[in-house]
Amino acid sequence: MEIRKANVQDVEKLKEIGKLTFAETFSSENSEENMNEYLENGFSTKKLTAELTDQNAEFYFAELNEKTIGYLKVNVGQSQTEIKDKNALEIERIYVLKEFHGKKVGQILYDKAIELAKEKNVKYVWLGVWEQNPRAIRFYEKNGFKAFDKHIFKLGNDEQTDIMMKLKLNGKKPAANNVYS
């Protein structure tokens, strides 16, 4: 498996994996009307092109045998959806095709987000996760995230509660960079 940074030429591939993974994850708990509205607006070519050209947002694809099987979106600075802290990185999305759940793809994308956060020298990473997605909540808790607040996410006309979670980074350099004489 390869992790590759996406660019504006990947807009159609991003639209396809974005719609597919979002629908796989949330269709069973939401109305068809609300899902269709969100998929059309949230993954429009115009919106995704703007996000792909935003200098404070980055997308990464997980690819296996040249097939996109998942993706990551991170935001910094003013592109963060809630907290606009220059010392923070937001993981806005980690989505993996259902057939690859349990195969460490999400963990590899998550690890890439943490690597980016350390490269950007931020103090913490934060995200929002739907309160009715226990699998994702457990995943982030296992990786050290703690709930600190809630916010409303609108899916069509349905207001849903996301749990906001945070992971403080310790700021220590890896041991290999420490030189002792």
Question: How many whole angstroms separate alpha carbon 93 and alpha carbon 117?
Answer: 15
Fill in the DSSP letter of residue 82.
Answer: S
Amino acid at 13: K
Residue burial 91-122, b: 16+ Cβ < 10 Å; e: rest: bbbbbbbeebeeeebbebbbebbbebbbeeeb
* Helix-helix angle 105-119:134-142, to 10 degrees: 50
Catalytically annotated residue among 110, 124, 140, 180: 140
Reply yes or no on whether 140 is catalytic: yes
Q: Which residues pair with 61 in a beta bridge?
A: 4, 71
Q: Which residues are catalytic?
A: 140
